A and B are shown apart, each in its own frame.
Chain A
């Protein structure tokens, strides 16, 4: 049965015509107008009913609000805006970051720095710049702290609306009468009536949140007149990502030393502040909600582990594998055969949003989380990430003169970041020559291009000795393509300029000195296996040598792979481009 206007109208007329008293009506008639009006309303009603029915279906709903309301049933909580984070917001009382202050300087949580404009970042913990330290690197999140206060009525399950679409997804605190309360995923999961807990519910259109409190059975009930303070980070989300260093250079907050005197401070972000996201889109909720439902809050399959690990705020990217995948990686493996050291092992490699393996403390916390949801026989084992960096050298030719060269360069920088940056890549994802050349060719403004890509791995010297034993991630690689560079941790802010070249290969597998540095003549590299050793017998010319130890330096080994395709050999390997080393040249075609 159809409920469009014409069908309804015809059915009304047919229904009336079936009565013996019926007489025809003209189009321009009062009766026809009434029938039309009724048919129109019935048609509208049917349309609205269809719309509402569709919105109740997970696979068909078009509105984010419909999916948000249904997501609870799938045990999924869509994210609001997520603030970008960085770990290298450098602060100093010296404009050049090379002098210390006479007394300790306090840098409290929520200290704000900015680019002098709209992009502000806040510290996520309290820190101190100690006497003798030239600077301190702070953890920051993009956004500014906001405090809102409420006086409550003391109702059962009292709810407080906080209307602000910029509330950061996970950085907030709730104080009741100045006592910090704890968040719980659902207030009905509170185990007692005295538990000081609250629940955060997203508003259906992400316009804000609702804070929900208990009823003295499920969580402590608020009393009439209680003062509730909600402190949160107001973030820009995706538009607050800062990919370049040296952008956040303004200290917005007033800084004091421990004697209460105002301190003139200077700051700069020496690394990117990234990972910011906007509130989830309808399609993202639809996909992730299904995953949450399939996982069912239990880690059994590999995909369950991946999904559940990603729900942990610290985990940016992760890969999980076990006996089956380990067997797949071994050409001699017979499916189903026993692999002694891998039985029941669940290998996990997880990185944070700076690309580092998550800390031991985070691993411990995740292990505790997994213990409640994994199979009793599963043995989670964390594996460190092996990060491989690509150095792109791109010369792009522009034929369309409506593009400026700087525009095209900017397009290339953005496109490379999106595709080959930490966020764009993932574990165990290869980079093929044809892929990146085609991708760069498709960037707006690029007519054609010459692009080369080399690789490097980072290592460290041994404690107390300028000896570095290494195995490069990918091999074989070309003879005469190896160069070894060293940079002091103090010179991280200098970027590419901080590196000094100390050795190269001679084409026969020996590492040879680059003056003024002296390499022990047994230093070598194996082009087929990537293994090698570098021993610096004279490192005195290294920057900051007098005040540094060998572990205060990074060692970068650059090499050109024989194969133009970068095929990863291990599941814990992760390849990304190095923004510091990216060289982009643009010129018009002649």
Chain B
């Protein structure tokens, strides 16, 4: 479906990123805002080149995980998130807020995103902790 030219608001659907099954034994699935949330988390955790036949997508945040954690990286990661969301996502997302907070003790980055999709008419907030690798 060509979402950009559609007059209807599409329903989006996905299988849960974390896997698992519901009480009936069905694979756990997610809909609407949860599905968008699911997709953004996948995008945050993605590495460049892992998408089949699309070597230039993803990896906007993980590229910083191999560098030492410091304050100077915060604006860089923030810029990467803004750039990546604009480059990679379809349908497009509007970023309402993005914060990147380091936890030096436990060595992870806390990433908070507030986004809105005008095509999907969905707003969602994503909060993800991602471990630094060095």
Contact = CB atoms under 8 A, between A and B. Distances in A.
A26 B39 contact: yes
Nearest to B58: A28
B53 A30 contact: no
B13 A36 contact: no
Contact of A28 (B1, B3, B42): B42
Given A17-B1, A30-B17, A30-B38, A25 B12 contact: yes
A198 to B, nearest CB: 52
Contact of B3 (A17, A24, A36, A37): A24
A39 B51 CA distance: 13
A5 B53 contact: yes
B13 A24 contact: yes
Contacts of A27: 39, 57, 88-90
Interface of A: 5-6, 17, 23-31, 33-34, 36-37, 39-40
Nearest to A5: B53
Interface in B86-112: 88-91
Contact of B42 (A6, A29, A34): A29
B26 to A, nearest CB: 13
B6 to A, nearest CB: 9
B35 A26 contact: yes
Contacts of B11: 23-24
Interface of B: 1, 3, 10-17, 31, 35-36, 38-40, 42-43, 46, 51-53, 57-58, 88-91
B36 A26 contact: yes
A326 to B, nearest CB: 67
B10 A23 contact: yes
Given A17-B1, A23-B31, A37-B52, A29 B38 contact: yes
Contacts of B39: 26-29
A27 B14 CA distance: 10
B14 A29 contact: yes
B83 to A, nearest CB: 15
B46 A28 contact: yes
A26 B35 CA distance: 8
Contacts of A23: 10-13, 31
Q: Residue among A33, A37, A39, A40 with the most chain B CB within 10 A?
A: A33
Contacts of A24: 1, 3, 10-13
B43 A28 contact: yes
29 contacts: A6-B53, A23-B13, A24-B12, A24-B13, A25-B12, A25-B35, A26-B35, A26-B89, A26-B91, A27-B57, A27-B88, A27-B90, A28-B40, A28-B43, A29-B14, A29-B35, A29-B38, A29-B42, A30-B15, A30-B16, A30-B42, A31-B13, A31-B14, A34-B15, A36-B51, A36-B52, A36-B53, A39-B52, A40-B53
B28 to A, nearest CB: 10
A37 B52 CA distance: 7
Contacts of A37: 52
Contacts of A30: 14-17, 38, 42
Contact of B15 (A6, A17, A31, A40): A31
B14 to A, nearest CB: 4
A40 B3 CA distance: 24
B21 to A, nearest CB: 14
Given A24-B11, A31-B13, 8 more contacts: A25-B13, A26-B90, A27-B57, A30-B17, A31-B15, A36-B52, A36-B53, A37-B52
Contacts of B13: 23-25, 31
B63 to A, nearest CB: 16
Contacts of B53: 5-6, 36, 40
Nearest to A41: B52
Contacts of B58: 28
A30 B39 CA distance: 8
A30 B35 CA distance: 10
Nearest to B53: A5
A-B residue pairs, 6 tightest by C-beta: A23-B13, A36-B52, A28-B39, A30-B15, A24-B10, A26-B39
A27 B10 CA distance: 14
Nearest to A40: B52
